[in-house]
């Protein structure tokens, strides 16, 4: 089981960089001046932020309780996790980050952060099939290959998939 320090590091280093440090640099470099947004984008942004945070917390908890690890490469899950949102989509943790980035772009009224989101999504669309999935196949073997055949990478399936 991961220690509190391992969890703190995985949260501080990974999501905090993508959701706070890099956007802060982007806002600084673009000399962003926050303007009051219209009610609809603010409402949608708040809803997306809550959904993203909830999904992130749920997936991290599953990595801890079932996977006995974290999302960090230095302490990956030891057990294969196919529960909760992982029965619908292969990358719900990363989906939660995408959702929170979209919320951030709406709440801060920033096209620069929206562009960063698009670049980040496309980067992960390349990284996952080329690197991450190969690593998971080596670690979890046939169980992961069967999962990969039945659960989509990005667009969630409506009905949850369960192993036979």
Measured between alpha carbons, how far is 161 from 151 in angstroms, rounded to an integer? 7
The answer to whether the CB of 71 falls within 8 A of the CB of 93 is: yes
pTM of the model: 0.89
- 83-123 pLDDT, tens digit each: 999 999 999 999 999 999 999 999 999 999 999 999 999 99
90 vs 87: CA distance, rounded Å:
8
Taking the CB of residue 69, how many other CB atoms lie within 10 A of it?
Answer: 20
Cα gap 39→18, rounded to integer Å: 26
What residues contact 145, with CB distance under 8 A and at least 6 apart? 137
> Cα separation of 152 and 66, whole Å?
21
Higher pLDDT, 30 or 72: 30
């Amino acid at each position: 089981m991961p220690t509190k320090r391992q969890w703190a590091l995985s949260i501080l280093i990974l999501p905090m960089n993508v959701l706070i440090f890099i956007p802060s640099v982007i806002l600084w470099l673009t000399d962003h001046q926050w303007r009051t947004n219209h009610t609809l984008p603010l409402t949608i942004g708040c809803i997306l932020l809550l959904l993203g945070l909830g999904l992130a917390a749920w997936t991290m908890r599953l990595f801890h309780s079932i996977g006995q690890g974290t999302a960090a490469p230095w302490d990956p899950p030891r057990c294969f996790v196919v529960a909760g949102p992982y029965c619908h989509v292969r990358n719900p943790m990363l989906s939660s980050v995408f959702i929170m980035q979209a919320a951030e772009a709406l709440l801060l009224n920033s096209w620069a952060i929206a562009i960063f989101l698009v670049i980040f999504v496309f980067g992960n669309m390349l990284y996952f099939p080329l690197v991450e999935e190969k690593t998971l196949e080596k670690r979890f073997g046939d169980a992961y290959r069967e999962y990969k055949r039945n659960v989509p990478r990005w667009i969630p399936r409506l009905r949850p998939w369960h192993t036979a």
